């Protein structure tokens, strides 16, 4: 990755810092807003590869790009509902057999 240093033509710093965390082998990169706009596609590729990107606004962290984790679906507990239903009188296989037999005639 290429990093620039020093002020750009607007007088704001374009310096970026690459910080490497070796404990968990996680790479974090900090980048300013202007460079984020210019390199968004590359940053998304880096995030997909496991990097973390911190976007700086006026030299202070403003946002963090990390890989999206799959949304966990929490299903409601249906044990009370099942307990309230009457017991099954016949097996599902038997019910299907009877339905098929009824269709033939």
Side-chain half-sphere of 70: how many Cα atoms within 13 Å? Answer: 3
Query: Does residue 27 sit within a domain?
Result: yes
Query: Does residue 61 sit within a domain?
Result: yes
- Tokens 């033509």 label which residue? 9
Domain tally, the chain: 1
pTM of the model: 0.42
- 62 closest CA partner among 25, 35, 23: 35
Query: Does residue 57 sit within a domain?
Result: yes
Please tell me the distance from the alpha carbon of residue 54 to that of residue 25, in angstroms, as a whole number.
Answer: 17
Q: Average pLDDT, stretch 30-42?
A: 85
**Whole-number pLDDT of residue 25:** 52
Contact criterion met (CB below 8 Å) for 28 and 51: yes
Segment 49-96, tens digit of pLDDT: 888 888 888 888 888 888 888 888 888 899 988 889 888 888 899 889
Contact criterion met (CB below 8 Å) for 55 and 65: yes
Structural domain span for residue 29: 17-65
């Amino acid at each position: 990755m290429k990093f620039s240093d020093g002020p750009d033509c607007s007088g704001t710093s374009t310096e970026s810092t690459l910080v490497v965390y070796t404990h968990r082998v996680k790479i974090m990169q900090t980048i300013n807003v202007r460079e984020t706009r210019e390199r968004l596609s590359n940053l998304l590729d880096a995030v997909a590869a496991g990097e973390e990107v911190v976007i700086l606004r006026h030299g202070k962290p403003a946002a963090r790009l990390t890989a999206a984790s799959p949304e966990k679906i929490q299903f409601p507990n249906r044990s009370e509902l099942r307990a309230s239903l009457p017991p099954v009188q016949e097996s599902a296989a038997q019910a299907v057999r009877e339905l098929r037999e009824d269709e033939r005639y």
